[in-house]
A and B are shown apart, each in its own frame.
Chain A
Amino acid sequence: MTNDIRAQGADKPALIVGVLLLVVAFLVGYDAAQQTIVATYGLGPTAMPYVVACGLVILGFSHFVVAFRGGLPKPEAADGKALLWIAAGLVCLIGCIALGGGFVIAIALLFACTARGMGRRAFAVDLAIGFVLGLAIFLAFAKLLTLILPSGPLERLFL
């Protein structure tokens, strides 16, 4: 399938993947080189990282070869706005948890942003749905499973 599509010149995604693989290989190898503990006999903790780094280097260069021979499968155009909305939802969630805002508000934001990204246009309604959903999950975990999800001021009202 992919063989029929012969791109002119190099396939950019394949080149980027190749470069990224080399970067990861470098990180793994560099970290191994920095280590101080060495095994007295047998293999030390650095052997496996070097093997993995070598493998990644080979795979990286193979991607360069692939880049000039057809490249990676060509994807359809992506809807960047939708991706951004979902990413924003996840960032809100992480921020809310990190700042102690609690589970319910974090989930409400995530729910509303994702729904917006998937094409809904009723942000306030979705926020309310997410809020109720988050509260239900929080209470179910707290009461039935005795597992307390991250709590903010709001959650403490119910505990």
Chain B
Amino acid sequence: MDTLLSLLHGFTVAFEPAKLLFCLIGVFLGTAVGVLPGIGPALTVALLLPVTFKLDPGGSLIMFAGIYYGGMYGGSTTAILLNAPGESASLATALEGSKMAKAGRGGPALATSAIGSFVAGLIATIGLAFLAPWLVEVAVKFGPWDYFALMIVAFVTVSATFGDSPLRGLTSLFLGIALGLIGIDKLTGQARLTFGVPELLNGVEVTTLAVGLFAVGEAFYVASKRFRDPEEIIPIKGSLWMTKEDWKRSWAPWLRGTAFGFPIGALPAGGAEVPTFLSYSTEKKLCKYPGEFGKGAIEGVAGPEAANNASAAGTLVPLLTLGLPTSATAAIMLAGFQQYGLNPGPLLFAEKPDLVWGLIASLFIANVMLVILNLPLVGLWVRLLAIPQPWLYAGILVFATMGTLAVNGSPVELTMLFAFGFIGYLMRRYDYPVAPMVVGLILGPMAEAQLRRALQISLGDPMILLENPISATLLGIAFIALVAPFVMKGLNRFKASED
């Protein structure tokens, strides 16, 4: 009952006309940026963060929710029409979606992904609303050792279990943690790794790293191989709307996708890649027309898209209740929260219930707006894709530097952006995942703080990590997750079924 009341209260906050307008602007901007090729939701949020900078926390968080969902939707549009997924979570969508678009069924593919995202987002947000308060109660009892163990789990799962090579994932993670060391140590005031540069005392901005690695890195990467794979937009032919048959084939995958996405997204191990591919392979098995898979089966778009959106709402569970980001997008959202001086976690629910429930309520509203806005406007988004590539990437770089300049326009910060961009390019070139680096930067200092707090309480006895059942279990999970990929080396889970 409490949950319903809080949620209702959240809706009264979110239904103020000004808030609705923020949400609408957020959805619009989020879709517009998210639809650009190579830009996934994480980058969309990072690029648009400065726009919300000067609003009050409530308004900006709500705009934020809109940007987030808009970015997700825009990403799937690109995946379907360009076969250029902005992030690994829309890989599965691109598989069938682009085939459908080539077969002249781009309209229904976009529609099933939009409506599927809507259904999944709605169910998953309800799940979030009911799961979060319960988890908050559990989290209140967590000690620093438990938080530390949770973060270790997140480290391992983000870097070692996903991607092609655990070694490259871990390298990316450790470089991120090393970057996180830069600046003043919060417990003692000791300056670390600043090399006498005063701008480094505040540490590396998460948004600078994310925008550098993702946006600038992507621009470099595309420029470096621009003659080799010209991307072609597949024009939408025929009706935009789904036929009765399409509906019949879509509703079950939507629900199954949601059932995969939300629980896996809500785990501290999280991520959206696993549920989308699970959904894809499940739909492939259950499909009544297996021959269509690989040629554009609507189930292959409906399921993974729903799973993707549901897991996105799922990652908000650990983010809001524990302050634990489990995806690149969540890591940047956490940076956004911190920008407004908010620290997600159990305390936030107690101290700022208006804000938290207002945010959850606006997730619902953003979802509704997306469907209303996007299906009719799809023509506009497609035209955005038709911008000539040189202008497109020049514009992306303008956006990227604009964000850095708006927050902190020092030449040192810009130089860092440039350097991270080049590192991002090299990482792309040699197939290192970039997301673990961002997660390492944001979680590294948090993990360190929790560990030191734990050891202060135990008077320096490290056994405290293993004596508590929760932290011991979590560390055990992390260890298994770290070792398993090395043990089962031949077992390259999704590659086999995908190719």
Question: A63 with B167: in contact, given A52-B178, A107-B401, A130-B398 (CB under 8 Å)?
Answer: yes
Partner of A137, one of B398, B418, B422: B398
Contact A86 B390 (CB under 8 A): no
Question: A55 with B174: in contact, given A83-B223, A115-B391 (CB under 8 Å)?
Answer: yes
Q: Please, how many angstroms separate the alpha-carbon atoms of A63 and B395 in the complex?
A: 37
B493 within 8 A of A: no
What is the distance, in angstroms, from A125's C-beta to the closest C-beta of chain B? 10
Contact A110 B223 (CB under 8 A): no
A73 cross-chain contacts in B, Cβ below 8 A: 430-431
B395 cross-chain contacts in A, Cβ below 8 A: 111, 133
B414 cross-chain contacts in A, Cβ below 8 A: 90, 93-94, 97
Across the interface, name the chain A residue whose C-beta is closest to B216.
A90
B174 cross-chain contacts in A, Cβ below 8 A: 52, 55-56, 59
Chain B interface main SS type = helix
One of B35-43, B405-413, B473-481 contacting the partner:
B405-413
A112 cross-chain contacts in B, Cβ below 8 A: 394
B51 cross-chain contacts in A, Cβ below 8 A: 145
B177 within 8 A of A: yes
Across the interface, name the chain B residue whose C-beta is closest to A121.
B390
A145 cross-chain contacts in B, Cβ below 8 A: 51, 53-54
What is the distance, in angstroms, from B453's C-beta to the closest C-beta of chain A? 8
What is the distance, in angstroms, from B388's C-beta to the closest C-beta of chain A? 8
What is the distance, in angstroms, from B347's C-beta to the closest C-beta of chain A? 23
Question: A97 with B409: in contact, given A76-B228, A82-B223, A129-B391 (CB under 8 Å)?
Answer: yes
B54 cross-chain contacts in A, Cβ below 8 A: 145-147
Provide the A102-129 mask, 1 if CB < 8 A to any CB of B, else 0.
0100110011101111111000001001
What is the distance, in angstroms, from B346's C-beta to the closest C-beta of chain A? 24
Q: Please, how many angstroms separate the alpha-carbon atoms of A78 and B391 in the complex?
A: 20
Contact A49 B451 (CB under 8 A): no
A85 cross-chain contacts in B, Cβ below 8 A: 223
A147 cross-chain contacts in B, Cβ below 8 A: 50, 53-54, 406
Question: A149 with B406: in contact, given A42-B456, A129-B391, A133-B398 (CB under 8 Å)?
Answer: yes
A35 cross-chain contacts in B, Cβ below 8 A: 190, 192
Provide the B158-191 mask, 1 if CB < 8 A to any CB of A, else 0.
0000001001101100110110010001011110
B225 within 8 A of A: yes
B227 within 8 A of A: yes
Contact B406 A32 (CB under 8 A): no
B243 within 8 A of A: no
Provide the A35-70 mask, 1 if CB < 8 A to any CB of B, else 0.
111010111110111001001100100110010000
Q: Please, how many angstroms separate the alpha-carbon atoms of A22 and B209 in the complex?
A: 22
Across the interface, name the chain A residue whose C-beta is closest to B186.
A45
Contact A83 B220 (CB under 8 A): yes
Partner of A111, one of B193, B398, B411, B421: B398
Question: A48 with B448: in contact, given A78-B429, A137-B402, A147-B53 (CB under 8 Å)?
Answer: yes
Q: Please, how many angstroms separate the alpha-carbon atoms of A44 and B452 in the complex?
A: 8
Question: A72 with B224: in contact, given A37-B190, A41-B460, A93-B401 (CB under 8 Å)?
Answer: no
B405 cross-chain contacts in A, Cβ below 8 A: 97, 103, 149-150
Provide the B51-76 mask, 1 if CB < 8 A to any CB of A, else 0.
10110000000000000000000000
Contact A149 B402 (CB under 8 A): yes
A17 within 8 A of B: yes
What is the distance, in angstroms, from A82's C-beta to the closest C-beta of chain B? 4
Across the interface, name the chain B residue whose C-beta is closest to A146.
B54
Count residues of chain B with CB under 8 A from any CB of chain A. Answer: 66
B272 within 8 A of A: no
Across the interface, name the chain A residue whose C-beta is closest to B440.
A52
Partner of B181, one of A28, A66, A91: A28
Across the interface, name the chain A residue whose C-beta is closest to B228.
A76
Partner of A17, one of B223, B391, B430: B430
Contact B193 A119 (CB under 8 A): no
Q: Please, how many angstroms separate the alpha-carbon atoms of A46 and B460 in the complex?
A: 15
B394 cross-chain contacts in A, Cβ below 8 A: 110-112, 114-115, 118, 126, 130
B397 within 8 A of A: yes
Contact A78 B455 (CB under 8 A): no
Contact A114 B406 (CB under 8 A): no
What is the distance, in angstroms, from A44's C-beta to the closest C-beta of chain B? 7
Question: A110 with B226: in contact, given A45-B192, A75-B429, A147-B406 (CB under 8 Å)?
Answer: no
B389 within 8 A of A: yes
Across the interface, name the chain B residue whose C-beta is closest to A79.
B224
Q: Please, how many angstroms separate the alpha-carbon atoms of A107 and B421 in the complex?
A: 17
Beyond contacts A137-B402, A149-B402: 10 other A-B pairs, Cβ-Cβ < 8 A, are A1-B495, A13-B430, A27-B193, A39-B187, A73-B430, A75-B429, A78-B224, A98-B411, A107-B398, A141-B406
A-B contact pairs, 23 of them (CB 8 A): A1-B495, A17-B430, A37-B190, A39-B187, A39-B452, A41-B456, A42-B452, A45-B192, A52-B174, A55-B170, A78-B224, A78-B429, A86-B220, A97-B405, A98-B411, A115-B394, A118-B223, A118-B226, A126-B390, A133-B398, A137-B402, A145-B54, A147-B53
A residues with CB within 8 A of B: 1-2, 13, 17, 21, 24, 27-28, 31-32, 35-37, 39, 41-45, 47-49, 52, 55-56, 59, 62-63, 66, 72-73, 75-76, 78-80, 82-83, 85-87, 89-91, 93-94, 97-98, 103, 106-107, 110-112, 114-120, 126, 129-130, 133-134, 137, 141, 145-147, 149-150
User: 10 closest Cβ contacts across the A-B interface?
Assistant: A118-B390, A114-B394, A78-B224, A42-B456, A82-B223, A115-B390, A45-B185, A98-B411, A120-B390, A45-B190
